[in-house]
């Protein structure tokens, strides 16, 4: 019996073709595989499984529950498995997502069978993640716009309302600047039409490691509003607007949150 025959891998991947491939390859190598279509289903499978889970092999960005949230949920329950994150995003984007203080491996899509098993081997040699202390929540906002004047207008009005504001002229630069950053972001204001990584993609990526992040999308196009305003964490501002409208919108995003 090989080493893999005694190991269990929890796989979470929202792409059915990739999930099927991972299951076939891992089971063919002797691993016991628990396969799930997203983080929430993976968490359910893990809780129902009475044995030890040796490795999580998970996509980073998924619906309902992302890969980092899955890892942290199992760690909080005392499972502390090793983690191999899978992603199609470039390194400069993922640099801003790696949770500080965790030990994990990263594998970029597309990957070969050899690359997969090399990363799995490296991940299994790592010590399991230690529980992380929750970062202190502060009123920190990230403003992203390619237009310097408009970006400064947004930042100045937020600062006047008591926010600490970080600025970036593109989504890529915003994520790169977040690498190693220790502030907990509460608010993102981003242009929907940013080149490279647009506002929606940026929110999806940052919310992986900033639970509770709110976003106000800005755009001059009225037709972009309906698809993005889906819940209380999301708002839409159509340009042009004044500072009072911005502040009102942001306060509305946090109106149901208890005072610290």
Reported as a single tens digit per residue, the pLDDT across 53-73 is: 999 999 988 888 888 788 888
pLDDT above 70 for 127: no
**How many structural domains compose the chain?**
2
* Residue 130 located in a structural domain: no
| 205 & 234 share domain | yes
| 110 & 30 share domain | yes
Return mean pLDDT, the chain.
79
* Residue 101 located in a structural domain: yes
| 8 & 89 share domain | yes
* Residue 163 located in a structural domain: yes
Reported as a single tens digit per residue, the pLDDT across 230-248 is: 456 788 888 889 999 999 9
| 37 & 101 share domain | yes
* Residue 237 located in a structural domain: yes
| 88 & 193 share domain | no
* Residue 115 located in a structural domain: yes
pLDDT band for position 129 (cuts 50, 70, 90): very low
Where a domain ends, among 125, 153, 173?
125
* Residue 132 located in a structural domain: no
| 121 & 175 share domain | no
Where a domain ends, among 75, 99, 125?
125
| 9 & 95 share domain | yes
Assign residue 84 the CATH number of its domain.
3.40.50.2300
Transcribe the chain into DSSP letters: --GGGG-EEEEE-S-HHHHHHHHHHHHHTT-EEEEESSHHHHHHHHHH--S---EEEEESS-SSS-HHHHHHHHHHTT---EEEEEESS-HHHHTTTSPTT---EEEESS--HHHHHHHHHHHHHSPPPPPPPPPPEEEEEEEE-S-HHHHHHHHHHHHHTT-EEEEESSHHHHHHHHTT--PEEEEEEEETT-SSS-HHHHHHHHTTTSTT-EEEEEES-GGGHHHH--STTEEEEESS--HHHHHHHHHHHTTTSPP-
pTM for this prediction: 0.56
Domain span at 146: 137-253
* Residue 90 located in a structural domain: yes
| 24 & 82 share domain | yes
């Amino acid at each position: 019996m090989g080493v893999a025959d005694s190991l269990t891998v929890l796989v979470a991947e929202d792409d059915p073709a990739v999930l099927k491939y991972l299951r076939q390859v891992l089971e063919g190598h002797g691993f016991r595989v628990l396969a799930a279509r997203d983080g929430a289903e993976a968490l359910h499978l893990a809780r129902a499984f009475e044995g030890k889970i040796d490795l999580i092999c998970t996509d980073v960005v998924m619906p309902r529950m992302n890969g980092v949230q899955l890892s942290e949920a199992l760690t909080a329950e005392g499972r502390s498995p090793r983690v191999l994150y899978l992603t199609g995003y470039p390194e400069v984007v993922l640099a801003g997502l790696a949770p500080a203080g965790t030990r994990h491996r990263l594998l970029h899509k597309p990957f070969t069978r050899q690359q997969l098993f090399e990363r799995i081997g490296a991940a299994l040699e790592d010590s399991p993640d230690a529980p992380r202390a929750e970062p202190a929540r502060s009123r920190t906002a990230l403003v992203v716009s390619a237009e310097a004047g408009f970006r400064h207008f947004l930042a100045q009005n937020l600062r006047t309302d008591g926010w600490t504001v970080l600025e970036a002229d593109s989504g890529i630069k915003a994520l790169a600047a977040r690498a190693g950053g220790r502030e907990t972001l509460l608010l993102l204001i981003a242009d929907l039409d940013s080149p490279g990584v647009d506002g929606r993609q940026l929110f999806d990526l940052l919310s992986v490691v900033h639970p509770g992040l709110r976003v106000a999308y800005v755009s001059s196009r009225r037709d972009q509003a309906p698809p993005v305003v889906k819940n209380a964490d999301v708002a839409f501002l159509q340009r042009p607007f004044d500072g009072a409208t911005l502040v009102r919108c942001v306060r509305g995003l946090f109106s149901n949150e208890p005072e610290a």
